Structure 1
């Protein structure tokens, strides 16, 4: 069955015509606090029905300019609760590889953040040159293993480092001792949340650390402040606000070739649609910014 389309009837684009493919990955196996991110992708797609197709920032209906198609979900623990992290990684890498080979710009929707390692692996295998993984997040996600798994959501950026790729973590405000030591050892250029506030040139300083033309962007929604994004598994105070994040993303797309994106860790709340609507709006902004990419 064809998945419900992101932004619904507004898109009206076939897979062949679409530049952007939305890939739902409702996988949740290693979350450690508030559960429910396996429902995140569907909630974002449902909320997207309420978006206006007209983007005020670009003064046009972006979905008609770019073309968006939503493919069927993969690696779902809703339908397959016994799916292991290793099997999930293989499924994700294979599917993303096919979409890239078809010339699609992939925006994956999670699901837990561990999924990102499988996505990045697909790009790493297919591209001949390195790229930087920009991580919007509250947490370092740099543990070697957690709860007896190297594929835990708390280890995803460590797996990215294992692929030999540079990273740029942005909005970080919670790490453990192991991660602090690794950051110093590897000289990872972390953009701490505390250094963003009242620092007008933080974006330029952050991007000065990127030495590759191509970048991949992974967004853990807890990178946003929980006052704006309460529906996440591990909320942390002091996060990015809407305009800080979108200004940063627009600048990245303007100065670098963005090869793909993901939006992870939405765990919908039962009494509010704020988180899923904000996440859907963010996905649509990513689609808009694709028009700026080098």
Structure 2
């Protein structure tokens, strides 16, 4: 297979240059661009993967230190291996080419037995990512997002960021969709809400999650089922994550987010994770990148303890 990745200056936290994709338990890659809408600029995501890596560099120096979010060092006993494949050579205007690159990368990682972790990119990048998890069998999707993304098309494009869960629902390996953090306008009309509900998606609003806690989500998750988490940064409250296009009050807190990730990893088999919709230009003081980087570190730490 030709090299589809560009090298990066900063390795993802926990990654080692000596660990190859074929040897890793978790493989990280960046997908800066997905499927663009006509006349909508998606170049703002170009530097997102590198910005998230860079935000982790201070913590990456202290992997042997006690991490109080994880009750021990990040990599636990040190047997969990992380590889950073770099960034896909995507183009802001080439939707078909970008989707193909994401499929190739995810398939390559899945075939080694590793867990793929994708750094997006807008909310269209999970469509080919989810599609490529099919060889692993029936899949539960947990989406953390302010929006439900069940539009059939927008601006004539059916594979853009407003249609992610609608397209995922059409994949025959997707058996369960749990959506948490929905609030405000939620990117939906009555039609989309009814289609999602009729399909069987569990729509858990941010208010319901704040009231019911993690159990409001995990009660819909079968034990030991294959699960992937797609985390749209606007699912978090803008007080801790302002670097998004559509900030909406009432989102998840940092601890709610990492505790939910921990609970999902403990109850199910996490087979994929993505973080998307982070906009570096909207993060002038860097606090959003630090928050996102710590959430990603917790994904690594929780997997290392599984």
Distance 1:32 1:208, change over 3 A: farther
Unaligned runs of 5+ in 1: none
- Residue 20 of structure 1 corresponds to 26
Distance in 2 (CA, whole Å) between partners of 1:10 and 1:258 is: 19
**TM-fit CA distance, 1:47:** 1.1
Query: Which residue matches 1:116?
Result: 126
The residue number in structure 1 matching 2:48 is 40
Partner of 1:273: 286
Measured after TM superposition, the shift of residue 237 of structure 1 is: 1.1
**In the aligned structure 2, how far is the partner of 1:112 from the partner of 1:96?**
17
Distance 1:42 1:167 in 2: 29
Please identify, of 30-39 and 281-290, the stretch whose mean Cα deviation from structure 2 is larger.
30-39
**1:67 corresponds to:** 81
CA contact under 8 A between 1:22 and 1:109: conserved in structure 2? yes
C-alpha distance in 2, partners of 1:210/1:149? 31
Q: How far off its partner does 1:181 sit?
A: 2.1
Given the superposition, is the C-alpha separation of residues 10 and 103 from structure 1 closer, same or farther in structure 2, using an over 3 Å criterion? Answer: closer
Q: Distance in 2 between matches of 1:232 and 1:13?
A: 34
Map of 2:271 onto structure 1: 259
CA deviation vs aligned residue, 1:154-204 (integer Å, no higher than 9, x gap): 1111110010312110111113213222233223211110112243xx322
Q: Indicate which of 246, 252, 267 corresponds to 1:234.
A: 246
RMSD: 2.3
Deviation at 1:34, TM superposition (A): 8.6
State whether residues 283 and 289 of structure 2, in contact with CA within 8 Å, keep that contact through their aligned partners in structure 1. Answer: no
Once structures 1 and 2 are overlaid, which stretch shifts more, 215-224 or 86-95? 86-95
Instruction: Check if 1:194 corresponds to 2:207.
Output: yes
Match of 2:142 among 134, 155, 167: 134
Structure 2: 5+ residue stretches without partners: 1-5
How many pairs align? Answer: 285
Is the Cα contact below 8 Å between 1:6 and 1:68 reproduced in 2? no
Matched, 1:3 2:8: yes
Aligned to 2:3: none
How far has the Cα of 1:8 moved from its partner?
Answer: 6.3
Q: For the residues of structure 2 that align with 1:260 and 1:7, how far apart are their CA atoms?
A: 16
SS in 1 for 2:266: helix
Matched position secondary structure for 1:118: helix
TM-score by length of 1: 0.89
Q: What is the aligned partner in structure 2 of residue 102 from structure 1?
A: 112
1:162-201 correspondence runs (5 A): 162-164=170-172, 165=174, 166-173=176-183, 174-177=186-189, 178-199=191-212
Equivalent position to 1:151, from 147, 152, 159: 159
Contact 1:134 1:216 in 2 (8 A): yes
